[in-house]
Amino acid sequence: MCVRLIRPGNLAQATASHLPTLQKLASEVVPALREAGSRRAGPQKDWREPMTLLDHVVLQVDDLNAIGDWYDQVVSLAGGTRVFDTPTLIGYALPGQPAQLFFSLATDPGGRQTHLALRVEDETTVRRGHELATALGGEILHEPRLWPEYGPDYYAVFIRDPAGNNLELKCQASTARPS
């Protein structure tokens, strides 16, 4: 296809002389652009399905009671409720779903470490994440292992990311326990 620059004074003449070409272009390109715009990368999913990459987030706060009172009301707007409640940590979930939003008492005055947990396929992937972080010079907060205090098959590694956040890679452990 050849594209010519059209000077402003010649726009009407150029438009008339190139109308068949513009119509053909529009008939081919516009539907393709509409189709491309309606497609997303990867398979189409119902937005109401539970997230599969993000497992949970923990945000630190100074006043857990005040934030709890506030989020009890806000989360209820989305149909969720407080499902986890300890003196240092509260968590929210939608009905029938695991808790995904947590608030904990701040552990670093003047800072707000965010805890981001990503769900991965298996223990091998958790260990590969540990190896990658180590190779990149990352700080390992907790080595890969089972965390029975979180669940009987909860397997995870905790890593400090370059921004200082606590990144967790977790999976549901298989029946063959890792060594």
* Contact criterion met (CB below 8 Å) for 139 and 113: no
Q: Please tell me which of 40-44, 51-55, 131-135 the model is most confident about, judged by mean pLDDT.
A: 131-135
| pLDDT over 60 at 95, yes or no | yes
Model pTM score:
0.57
* Contact criterion met (CB below 8 Å) for 127 and 178: yes
Instruction: Say what percent of the chain tops pLDDT 90.
Output: 31
Task: Please give the pLDDT value at position 46.
Answer: 53
* Contact criterion met (CB below 8 Å) for 115 and 57: yes
| pLDDT over 90 at 74, yes or no | no
- Angstrom distances, CA of residue 73 to CA of 17, 22, 79, 97: 63, 55, 10, 18
CA-angle at 116, arms to 114 and 122, nearest 5°: 155
Domains in the chain, please, with CATH? 52-112 (3.10.180.10), 114-179 (3.10.180.10)
- The whole-chain average pLDDT of the chain stands at 75
| pLDDT over 90 at 6, yes or no | no
Torsions phi, psi of 80, nearest 5? -100, 170
- pLDDT band at 131; cut points 50, 70, 90: very high
The region of weakest confidence among 3-12, 78-87, 89-98, 159-168 is: 3-12
Closest CA to 90 of 102, 76, 78: 102
